[in-house]
Amino acid sequence: METYLYFSLLPEALIYSQLPPERFGKYLAIGDKKTTRGSAIFFAVDPAFESEAFRLKEARDKCTPHADGSPRRSTYVSVYGVLANLPIESLGTLYLTTKDGLSLEIKPGKYKAPNRPGLHLYQELCPVSPKVASPLEPLEFSQHITNPQNPVYLPRAVFCDLRLNGLATDPEHSSAANLPYRDLNHLRECLTSLKYKTDKMTKIVQRDLDPSLLYYTLGSGFYVGDPEHFAYYPMPSEDDLENKHLSWWTSASSAVSRF
């Protein structure tokens, strides 16, 4: 029986499992008895990955089938400091799992800086999870938040960009239709502050993460960066989601009905 290695973001954990990605995502989202319900985001990790930072062999040896022959669902390797000790080149496919246990597979792609003016809104996912506004495009933002020359920095970060629509260029007056953020007035204030303070590179908009709305508000994709490496996982267009991944998109969009 094949053993897989996964890096979970919600919460941060390195996990061995004998479940293939789609079944593992469903297990994280709804559990064995379907008594839990929540989104999951995880990467497949190169099974050949080795590091003295983790007790990999000990965990791998424990990840064996149950007495009845059923697969071992999870054997945890670590729940702390995982990303800081996980090189970007060891990360494979990214999986986005909805609260209903449906997973969308995203392969890494070639990054090209967005050709649009204005501000950006990022959701940091690991190892911290604030929502951050910035004038920096994704690669610049990654380099800024992982720069050891800054007084506060992250050794490595996973984040995604979120939709701003017209607020990106006109935060004071533009319509915020179809943006289900909780405190739009505060968001406008943060963006307006950055618009006129050209020496400020980031401003925290919200200190926690709302996983239920994340998929619906996603922009161009997910990013993993450190001072030397950068990886981009492009989100499918809304047309592709509706035409090729309708079940996933319907599940991912259902949370906005509450707002």
pLDDT, one tens digit for every residue, the chain (259 residues): 899 999 999 999 999 999 999 999 999 999 876 556 789 999 999 999 999 999 999 999 999 999 999 999 999 999 999 999 999 999 999 999 999 999 999 999 999 988 888 999 999 999 999 999 999 999 999 999 999 999 999 999 999 999 999 999 999 999 988 899 988 999 999 999 999 988 899 999 999 898 888 999 999 999 999 999 999 999 999 999 999 999 999 999 886 654 4
**Cβ 15 vs Cβ 44: under 8 Å:** no
Looking up tokens 């995982």, which residue turns up? Answer: 82
In degrees and rounded to multiples of 5, residue 219 shows phi and psi of: -95, -115
In degrees and rounded to multiples of 5, residue 101 shows phi and psi of: 85, 15
Please state, as a whole number, how many other Cβ atoms lie within 10 Å of the Cβ of residue 19. 20
How far lies 96's CA from each of 34, 194, 214, in Å? Answer: 18, 31, 10
> Which residues have CB under 8 Å from 33's CB, separation 6+?
none
Dihedral Cα 36, 42, 48, 52, nearest 10 deg: -80
